[in-house]
Amino acid sequence: MATIELRQVEKKFGDLHAVKPMDLTINDGEFMVLLGPSGCGKTTTLRMISGLEAVTGGQILIDGRDVTWAHPSDRDIALVFQFFALYPHLSAWQNIAFPLQAEGESRANIEKRVSEVARMLGIKHLLHLRPKALSGGDKQRVGLARALVRRPAAFLMDEPIGALDADARETMRAEIKQFHLTQNATTVYVTHDQIEAMALGDRIVVMSMGVVQQVGTPAEVYYDPAKLFVARFIGSPGMNLVTGGYADGVVHLPGSNPYPVPPAWNTALQREMGSEGDVIVGFRPEAGRVTGTGPLVAEVYATELHGAYTVLHLSLNGTVVHIRADRGIDYPIGTAVRFDLDPEMVRFFDPQTEAALRLPFDGAQDKTQDTALRRAQDTALTGREH
């Protein structure tokens, strides 16, 4: 297993920067997710690590060895493709054996390792079939088997479940998680689906327009987005972002709604912007609480029952925010409601730099939250404690 290190790696297509110079260290055994909308450079980054795309500048090191200009076959990595890329003229068995044949393994050894991997992924009964005869999920299982059979130093996965239909995707997501936990292999995983990223990643790299916006654990990027882009992109719906004028411990939100800043934040805001100025208040839908005594007043724009909960669309004089409320709650459209924000979950952003403002003691309490969340996720996905 291996550490992957990117040093000032960049990629230009003509004058266009597909990936601006980025630094990234992926630790041994880590599951790193590259997340971002299409065209953000995540796949290009993955392809540069694999060696299928040449870098324009910078260095790539795998386990301390400089592989920047090494051929893909010399990097000891395996790649899983979005559209499987199974060789159509070979059977599943031949597909899985293909990388071993490149290494000149003996026939007996190939037999042994292919059946070992096939048993692990539950595709033993499909080995004689051509890819055309396989379902989407099975195709990707064969793709995973082909990657796994070589026991590479690292796995690279390019939206491996993006081409599957919804049901198969959920199953495969858990299988990939299980696969990672048993193999404990360094994995770089590209996706545009933030739920997938949250569910799978040890850490997430959020990218936009070829620039790394934030590198952090799923909890970090969810609760403490570093940039407005991250706040909007992670979560569905994303973080509510409302611009207001800050003055003397109060942010004046649209619709003449003075919001008293939690005391902990007050010093941070004063330090950043002096006594007054514009600031963006951000809060997750679940941070809002509808209470009779809340400081903020808004008009109900729409209510949506999502089954387990209701999403209230509230209009602050035209600026719509989403609040997650109890599933029993239902208001007629146009009703004025009062609500409050959980002071623990309110975040502030600088409208100019689009960067988040930070508390001085930032991070200490999130660590515990993080570990608890990870454990809960792992248990939920794999269905067992470990």
Partner 1 sequence: MARLRRAQTSTSSAESSSRVDKIGRRAPIVHSVRVDKVSRGAQILRFIRATVVVVITLIMLIPVFWMVLTTFKSHPDAIAVPPKVFFKPRLVDSFVFLVTDRFLLPRGKLAQYPDECKESWTECVRNKCSEPRSGKELAWYECVALESGQLVTGPGKYGEYVINSLIIAGCSTAAAVVLGLLSGYAYSRFDMPVKDFQLFFILSQRFLPAVVITIPIFLMYKDLHLQDTHLGMIILYTVVNLSLSVWLLRSFIDEIPREYEEAAMVDGYTRLQAIRKIVLPNALTGIAATTVFCLIFAWNEYAFALMLTSDVARTAPAFIPTMIGRGVVEWTSIAAGSLVFLIPVVIVTFALRKYLLRGVTFGAIRQ
What residues contact residue 357 under an 8 Å CB cut-off, 6+ apart? 265, 268, 269, 272, 279, 347, 348, 349, 350
| CA gap 303, 323 in Å, rounded | 10
Smallest gap from Cβ 23 to partner 1, in A, equals 24
| CA gap 280, 294 in Å, rounded | 20
Based on CB atoms, which residue is closest to partner 1, 140 or 310? 140
Smallest gap from Cβ 140 to partner 1, in A, equals 9
| CA gap 11, 175 in Å, rounded | 33
Smallest gap from Cβ 103 to partner 1, in A, equals 6
Smallest gap from Cβ 257 to partner 1, in A, equals 46
Based on CB atoms, which residue is closest to partner 1, 133 or 302? 133
The residues pairing with 298 across neighbouring beta strands, listed in sequence order, are 337
Residues that bind partner 1 (CB under 8 A): 50-52, 71-73, 77-79, 81, 83-85, 87-89, 98-99, 102-103, 131-132, 134-138, 146, 150, 163-165, 167-168, 171-172
Based on CB atoms, which residue is closest to partner 1, 159 or 224? 159
Q: Provide the token pair at 348.
A: 């502030």
Based on CB atoms, which residue is closest to partner 1, 138 or 299? 138
Smallest gap from Cβ 99 to partner 1, in A, equals 4
Smallest gap from Cβ 45 to partner 1, in A, equals 16
Which helix (H) or strand (E) segment is 154 a member of? strand 154-158
Based on CB atoms, which residue is closest to partner 1, 162 or 237? 162
Three-state DSSP class for 111?
A: helix
How far is CA 320 from each of CA 239, 253, 312, rounded to the nearest angstrom?
A: 12, 12, 10
Based on CB atoms, which residue is closest to partner 1, 45 or 50? 50
Based on CB atoms, which residue is closest to partner 1, 103 or 116? 103
Based on CB atoms, which residue is closest to partner 1, 129 or 297? 129
Largest pairwise CA distance in the chain: 77
Based on CB atoms, which residue is closest to partner 1, 102 or 336? 102
Cis amide prior to 237 (ω within 30 degrees): yes
Residue with tokens 């654990």: 217
**Cβ density class 158-176: b for 16+ within 10 Å, e for less:** bbbbeebeeebbeebbebb
Residue 40's nearest CA partner among 67, 11, 82, 77 is: 11
Smallest gap from Cβ 308 to partner 1, in A, equals 21
Smallest gap from Cβ 154 to partner 1, in A, equals 11
Q: Dihedral through CA 151, CA 197, CA 362, CA 322, nearest 10?
A: -170
* DSSP state, residue 357: P
Smallest gap from Cβ 28 to partner 1, in A, equals 20
| CA gap 5, 86 in Å, rounded | 29
